[in-house]
Amino acid sequence: MKIYDVIILGAGASGLMCASHLDNNLDIAIIDANEKVAKKLKISGGGKCNVTNVAVSADNYDGDMDIVTSTFDAFSKDDLLQFLSSYGVNPEVRKDRYYFCKKSSDEIIDIFKEKTRHIQKYLNTKVLKVIKKDNIFEIKTDKNTLKTKKLIVATGGKSFTNLGASDIGLSIAKSFGLKVKDFTPALVGLTLQSSEFWMKELSGLSCYVHIKIGYKTLKEEMLFAHKGISGPAVLSASLYWRKGDMNIDFLPNDNIEKLIKNTKKKLSSVIPLPKRLAVAILEALEVKDIECKKLDKKSLENLKNIHSYRFAPAGNFGFTKAEVSRGGVCSDELNHYTFEALDIENLYFIGEVVDVTGELGGYNFQWAFSSAFVCANSI
């Protein structure tokens, strides 16, 4: 049976980036369960792939800071933009922060298709398990068994199973004795305890907030949804939320004490939020919507909490709605400069399957591409 030099499991963002940077003289194959490559990349960012962010640092990630820092030192967001530009793809900045493709994610996918044209692809092929015999990896799939000298696991996380996602990467890592953290949904909306159901009544409304969670502050829009709360601020906050309280400043750009000073206006009309939202927040804070001047001491105290509304979410919307999976192969099992498992020669893990997860805003593709480049470069 033929023995490949390198087999990559997963033709997603990291697998394709890695394949694109491996030496052309190597005999390489990619295996993917989907009938097409890059299915997640294709639909990402509303079909325009938010590929990276103007400011990328280890602070934007949940995971081991050391591996994130060394990976971005080796392949930064500028390196990524330069790589794309060398193929005529120049993403544009939106909202002063996010790099999106101008027309569609296909701009990036087409680069990968071109750069991996010479590589054997086994599509519609589901990886079931991997064993290592006499220094050769044997990959059992639902169609065949393939052999390789080096194996790169780029099978991503468990979110959006309808796009081929699975936790096979973690099963493979575990079968080789590597430590893993089980996947949990992240970049996902949060459900509410009954005391906070007032937020559900506001379904469809959104506002700019600061959400504080531990030492993190997420500054973005929050969306009130039928099932709970969502929107960019909440999605990023979900990355850091385990259980317990979070804190919302509904008026981060104003000061409520200044807004109500020396005015006879009704409270809800001086709060610079949609009226329905202002009224609902006042109710939740147990403050009567009366003339500002008539507020008693207790109401004034309660009102200050509009800058720090504390509550504990109930849970999250689950893997079917989560953009990414937190957890993965523990980074202390990997060489930070190659992504090779420290104890299993020639076995590599890259992309989302590694225990590094980014905030919303292009950080996860940046990680997928940077880790893939570092791995390919080392091979």
Going along 263-316, which residue ranges are E strands? 309-311, 315-316
Out of 184, 230, 316, 364, the only residue in the binding site for ligand FAD (CB under 6 A) is: 364
Least Å from the CB of residue 231 to ligand FAD: 15
Least Å from the CB of residue 30 to ligand FAD: 9
Least Å from the CB of residue 166 to ligand FAD: 4
Distance CA 371, CA 323 (A): 19
Closer to ligand FAD by Cβ: residue 13 or 374:
13
The answer to whether 136 touches 347, Cβ cutoff 8 Å, is no
Contact flag: residue 327 with ligand FAD (CB under 6 A): no
Binding to ligand FAD in span 136-155, by CB under 6 A: 154-155
Q: What is the 3-state secondary structure (H, E, C) of 157-187?
A: CCCCHHHCCCCHHHHHHHHCCCCEEEEEEEC
Out of 4, 6, 8, 10, the only residue in the binding site for ligand FAD (CB under 6 A) is: 10
DSSP for 311-361?
A: E---EE--TTT-SEEEEEE-GGGB-TTT-BBSSSTTEEE-GGGBSEEE-TT
| Number of C-beta neighbours around residue 114 at 10 A | 10
Binding to ligand FAD in span 217-276, by CB under 6 A: none
Least Å from the CB of residue 159 to ligand FAD: 5
Contact flag: residue 127 with ligand FAD (CB under 6 A): yes
Contact flag: residue 168 with ligand FAD (CB under 6 A): yes
The answer to whether 274 touches 281, Cβ cutoff 8 Å, is no
Out of 202, 209, 267, 368, the only residue in the binding site for ligand FAD (CB under 6 A) is: 368
Distance CA 165, CA 107 (A): 23
Binding to ligand FAD in span 37-76, by CB under 6 A: 39-41, 43-45, 49-50
Please choose, out of 35-43, 83-91, 235-243, 247-255, the segment that lies near ligand FAD by the rule CB under 6 A: 35-43
SS3 309: strand
Residues that bind ligand FAD (CB under 6 A): 10-15, 31-34, 39-41, 43-45, 49-50, 126-127, 154-156, 159-160, 164-166, 168, 323-324, 351-353, 362-365, 368
